[in-house]
Copies of this chain bind each other. A is one copy, B any other.
Amino acid sequence: MKAVIPYKKASAKSRLSSVLSQEEREEFVEIMLNQVIDSVREAGIENIDILSPSMYGLENMTKARVLLDKSDLNEALNMYLGQAKEPTLIVMADLPLLSPKHIKAIISTKEDVCIVPGKGGGTNILFVKTPSSYRVKYYGSSFLTHCSIAVDAGQNIEIYDSFFGAMDIDEPDDLVELLIHGEGYAKKYISQKFRLDISRGRVRLSQI
């Protein structure tokens, strides 16, 4: 079994630019990446690849192997899957609420494919037992697409229902979830900069 984490540090997370500078966003995605790697490793997967279009920020990475591929996300991942000879976990790097317990449950699926939906129709984690007969198509409503691809290939699907797994961090409101439900360095980083504002009904982010 192995895991692959697509990652790009340069100018990451532009939808957080109203609350974090580029330097902060790049620091933050690196922290989230490390947290995801740690969760994957703690779940017992030792063979971990980071798939990135650039070495930027990965020069000193020792926890995982770095694979450089300048093609787009789908092309790079499909090339990777085509060569994979063992069950493969594709996990996004921006899931700081993910724990080893989630990953253990996902890779224990009895089905051929396990999909963890992200909010807004996304796919946050895909576990594929026979990766060479699967292909990915991220962006847009990738959750529905990834379900269809499995069905078309005659593969059974488990949909893994997890709020914490669904919570990829894209927008300021997502940082609220991290402050409320998070643990570890990603939460620590954000709680040094923001606090929860519960003064007006809904919980909002407030700069410290």
Contacts and interface: CB of A to CB of B under 8 A. Distances in A.
For chain A, the bracket of interface size reads 20 to 34
A163 B117 contact: yes
Given A141-B196, A201-B139, A120 B176 contact: yes
Contacts of A201: 139-140
10 contacts: A117-B163, A120-B176, A120-B177, A121-B176, A121-B198, A143-B180, A161-B163, A163-B165, A163-B166, A166-B166
A120 to B, nearest CB: 5
Given A161-B162, A162-B161, A163-B165, A198 B120 contact: no
A181 interface: yes
Chain A interface, >50% SS class: helix
A40 to B, nearest CB: 18
A180 B140 contact: no
Nearest to A170: B202
Contacts of A163: 117, 119, 161-163, 165-166
B203 A173 contact: no
A141 B203 contact: yes
Interface in A191-208: 196, 198, 201-203
A162 B164 CA distance: 8
Contacts of A68: none
